[in-house]
Structure 1
C-alpha cells in the first residue's frame, strides 16, 4: 500500500462528527465533516490541554483523485497525524 493509500484508508476510517482520540501520548478533540455531496472533506483537531492544532481539506476529484490541502501546515504533519490517530471507543 502506498503512503497515499495508507493516509486515505486511515482518514475514511475516522468517525464523522466530533470525537476524541489519541496520537502517541497526546489527546485531541477532532471534527470530521463531509461537504459538497462527498467531494470535499474537512478535519480539524485541537490538542486537549495543549497548543497543537491540525487542519486539512481533502478534495475528491474525477481527474486528479484525492487532493490533500493542509491548512497552514505541512502535508507531512497532517498525514502523520491522521495515520497515528486512534479514536476513543
Structure 2
C-alpha cells in the first residue's frame, strides 16, 4: 500500500538504530534499520514485558512514492503505531 505523507513524516522522525519508546501506555524496544542506501527501511518493535509486536518494511521508489509493507499484520496496526509512538 502507498504510504501517506503523515506516515512518512512520523516514520522519518524516528531515529535509526535500537532504542526504547512508548505507545498506548506500554514500553517497546524499537529497531529501525536502513538498507540499500535508504531505499529500503525496516522497523521492528517488541513490547517489553508483553506480547505485542510490530514489524514493517518501507520501500522508497524512484518516482518518489513510498510503499508500506506490514509484516503479517494489519496495516492499520502498523500505521497507528508509527503515528502514535514516542521514541525515548
Q: How would you bin the TM-score normalised by the shorter chain?
A: over 0.9
Compute the displacement of 1:64 (Å).
Answer: 6.7
The 3-state SS of whatever aligns with 2:12 is: helix
Q: How does 1:41-80 map to 2 (within 5 A)?
A: 41-63=41-63, 65-80=65-80
What's the CA shift string for 1:21-73, capped at 9, x where partnerless? 00120110000010001100000000000000000000000237100000000
TM-score of the superposed pair, with normalisation by structure 2: 0.93
> Which residue number in structure 1 is paired with residue 19 of structure 2?
19
Q: How does 1:29-44 map to 2 (within 5 A)?
A: 29-44=29-44
Compute the displacement of 1:13 (Å).
Answer: 0.2
How many residues are treated as equivalent by the alignment? 86
Q: What is the root-mean-square deviation in Å for CA atoms of aligned residues?
A: 1.3
Contiguous gaps of at least 5 residues in structure 2 = none
Distance 1:55 1:27 in 2: 15
> Which residue number in structure 2 is paired with residue 8 of structure 1?
8
Higher relative contact order (CA 8 A, sep 6+): 2
